[in-house]
Structure 1
Amino acid sequence: MKSVILILSFYLFMQINLFAQEFAVKSLNVYSTDNPTSLPVLTGVNKLVIEFDVQGEFYPSMNIVFRFCDIGWTPTKNIFLLNYQYNTFYFLDFEDLPIMVADDARYHHKSSYPDEKDQVRFPFSGKWRFYVTDSQDTSIVYATGKFFVVNNDVELRVNVKRDELEDKSYWPVELSKAINVTTDFYLTEDFHPSFVDRIEIIDDQRINYPIVVDRKTNTLFRFFKWDANRNFTFTARDIPAGNEFRQVDIRDHNLFNTKDVRAQLDGLEYSRFFLNPLHKDLNGGKIYANYRDEFSTYLNVTFSIRPPEENFNSIFLVGAFNDWKLSLNYRMNESGGIYSITIPLKRGIYDYQYVAADVDNNEILNPDWLILEGNTWLNTKEFDVFLYYNEQDKGPYERIIGYKRVISKQ
């Protein structure tokens, strides 16, 4: 009898773990309660929201594990920063999605942190990552995301203004247009000037490509000043002015009434280099259709662009749907001078753009974010500015001691 029970228990265990690997997380959305379309930054007066759809035959059994990170978004191994007691939210709750969505996703999860059960806390100021894992085996990771936790110990004064690059002759001249972001602050007595490290600026949520000005920087366009006391200034003059992002809005089920649709009703898109912004974007954000809406379905969306006659080796699609990360998975296919790619998207609004780049040995090189999109001062940009400090207590580790979000004006 005991042998039979052991065999049945082993069989059930194997089935659970087999099923766990069949889940797919879709439409992961990470934001703060006070601003659902901006970079997720927790300041002590808001909360982190994580929501996503799940496709799978069985009811999911998942946890969310939170890890404090050090340089380069690498989860820390420092035992004093592992936050063992408050780093996991166990056994997520899920809601059934409408029947019309069931072919693409069956369940939806939404939760906010720190949570009411007090399972999760964020005691350290800096970069954080989370992992959606199987509840039985946390080495099985279905999705991951990034966010910031900041304590504004130091007040940042951030000035944004127009600037121009003058290191060479630019043609077209529009390429010389830039944004100057200057950050200055007085370091309080709680901190030592020697451990002030750098400023990082995130431009319109492009979290993977921060603008960095550190204490070693001293160029025409990026430089650091210190009065040998407690006054600091970090300047970045070479941030591209850019343009308002393109936008795909596939919420209307009357206009987009089939499974396979084009991103734009006109079909083809073209270069916008010499075009002024036609509309306001979401500063790199996205808005999903309400998951309880029976029409919040998934569509196969085709993006197509005919670039100018110049020979582009490769063109990539980037946007809010892939966290603005250049990836070979989003390399467009060329046929007859038209570049196209089809990707699955949940109904909603997404900012996006096209990037020209070279590819060598499966490595993306020389990305050009401007040549197909334009570079104008007539758009509005959102900058998230972080001040990093080399904390020695419990460390050393990267600590954010100052933060400010600013909007550039036309």
Structure 2
Amino acid sequence: MNRLLIILTVIIIYFSNISAKDFKLKNVQTYTNKNESSLPVLIPNLYRSQRLTIEFDIDASHTPDLIILFRFSNKNWQPYHNIFLTNQGRNIAYNLKYSVLPNTVIEARYHYKGEFPDKKGYVTFPFSGKWKYYITDSQDTSKIYYTGKFIVVYDSVVLNVSLKKEQLENKVYFPFDLAKIFNITTEFNLPDNMYPGYVDEVQIIENHKLNYPVTVERGTNTNTRQYYWNGDRKFTFIARDIRPGNEYREVNLMNVNKFNSRNVNAQFNGIEYSHFYKSLPPDLNGGSILMNYNNPFATYMNVRFSIRPPQEFFGDIFLVGAFNNWKLSPDYMLRNSMDIYSITLNLKRGIYDYQYVTGNLINGKIVDPNWFYLEGNNWNTV
């Protein structure tokens, strides 16, 4: 998988309802280039026809009256209130058009799909940086049913990025594969119209793990993070402790003959095991591909994920993947029954990348999460 990107994008989901009982948004997707598995990153200078796609299903007896509000935000994802940065008049998508799903689809009735900037020019993204969008009630924008995030990049600075394979030497690692890391060096020269004092940090994202960036801050100088500035316009940021991991696990529910009931196992054979020493086929780089919403088989299923960890395991196991935006959460903790850990999710028919993360749930917080114990760490990922 193409593991690393020098860019930050985060998608955060939280749901509400117009009247909390009337409808539910399901399977919200945000992507670009008509590629469902892509990151929501727009680069207008390179791809003038590029669009941001937002689509979702609605479980309701009637179509809700919704709008999508777009807000330009600062580096901490806080929307600007400066009138010159709110893009008023071109920041709201009205009159959302819905499609009716086939009668065979269970637990959803309507579908929305929109592309932005739209062809009529009602929505534009004139500023480079972080953006948020809100799906809200059309009459009361304080009723927010979903919040999403994306990046607009006008490609003002050319980044020169190099990646080298190295090994950590600060202690003895067991298994030895845990010492394998990538050294990622990012160099760039600021153009004359940019002020060097505004350069704060570089953030590195592994695929869709958008909530967990590796940050190299200005002024950092440790064994694993370095920063250099020539006093003029040349900057260098180095991170040398990024583990490559392994190819992701994949649940593929596309085969309607193989997965033909409402309750299914994520893997046809049932129970999964550790992948620490196992090489896997190429994945979707952390993304997902759903069956077309017009397909009569594009319904929802209760999918059971089950894993038996090594015998010496003590702790908790959590599920992360494209279905929850790779967000590590107590809500996705597996339940232990006779050393088999399981959880059931309601998923739309499609293909999803995922993995298991170990840790300990203490007072509602996940302590010491380990993304590699059950998945492995090697340089063979592509």
Q: TM-score, normalised by structure 2?
A: 0.92
Q: What is residue 56 of structure 1 aligned with on the other side?
A: 60
Partner of 2:122: 119
Q: What does residue 84 of structure 1 align with?
A: 88
- Measured against aligned partners, the alpha-carbon deviations of 1:133-192 in whole angstroms (never above 9, x if no partner) come to 121222222222111001111111111221211111111111001112111111111112
**CA distance in structure 1 between the partners assigned to 2:20 and 2:126 by the alignment:** 31
Question: 1:29 matched to which residue of 2?
Answer: 29
**1:137-152 mapped onto 2 (5 Å cutoff):** 137-152=140-155
**Corresponding position of 2:169:** 166
2:335 aligned partner: 333
Summarize deviations over 1:14-66 as a string: whole Å, max 9, x none. Answer: xxx96675111111111002543121100002110001100101122111111
For the Cα contact (< 8 Å) 1:48–1:114, is it kept in 2? yes
1:283-294 → structure 2 map (5 Å cutoff): 283-294=285-296
Equivalent residue for 1:345, pick from 330, 337, 347: 347
Q: 1:233 aligns with which of 229, 232, 236?
A: 236
The aligned counterpart of 2:209 is 206
**Separation in 1 of the partners of 2:151 and 2:138?**
25
- Superposition pairs of residues 3-402 of structure 1, within 5 angstroms: 22-33=22-33, 35-44=35-44, 45=47, 46-101=50-105, 103-276=106-279, 278-380=280-382
Q: Output the CA distance in 1 between the equivalents of 2:21 and 2:123.
A: 25
Task: Identify the residue that residue 393 of structure 1 maps to in structure 2.
Answer: none
Change (3 A) 1:329 1:255: same
d(CA) in 1 for partners of 2:266, 2:143: 34
CA distance in 1, matches of 2:92, 2:282: 38
RMSD between superposed Cα atoms in Å:
1.4
Could you list the runs of 4 or more consecutive aligned residues of structure 1 that deviate by over 4 angstroms after TM superposition? 17-21
1:130–1:312 distance in 2 versus 1, CA, 3 Å: farther
Does structure 2 conserve the Cα–Cα contact (< 8 Å) formed by 1:312 and 1:357? Answer: no
Distance 1:252 1:264 in 2: 12
The answer to whether the 8 A contact 2:34-2:53 is kept is no
Q: Secondary structure at the match of 2:178?
A: helix
Contact kept, 8 Å, 2:335 with 2:341, in 1: the verdict is: yes
Please identify which structure carries the higher helix content: 1
SS of the aligned residue for 1:317 comes to: strand
Partner Cα distance (1:19, 1:92) in 2: 19
Give me the whole-angstrom Cα distance separating, in 2, the residues matched to 1:234 and 1:77: 31
Residue 69 (structure 1) shift: 1.8
Q: Which amino acid aligns with 1:374?
A: G
Count of residue pairs brought into register by the alignment? 362
Q: Equivalent residue for 2:11?
A: none
Tell me by how many angstroms 1:80 deviates: 2.9
Cα separation, 2, equivalents of 1:164 and 1:370: 16
Shift of 1:261: 0.1
Contact 2:276 2:376 in 1 (8 A): yes
Of residues 195-204 and 295-304 in structure 1, the stretch that sits farther from structure 2 once superposed is 195-204
TM-fit CA distance, 1:232: 1.0
Taking the aligned partners of 2:299 and 2:337, their CA distance within structure 1 comes to 30
Q: Which residue of structure 2 lines up, in the alignment, with residue 6 of structure 1?
A: none
TM-score, scaled relative to structure 1: 0.86
Q: What is the percent sequence identity of the aligned residues? A: 50
Structure 1: any 5+ residue segments left out of the alignment? 1-16, 381-410
Greater C-alpha Rg: 1
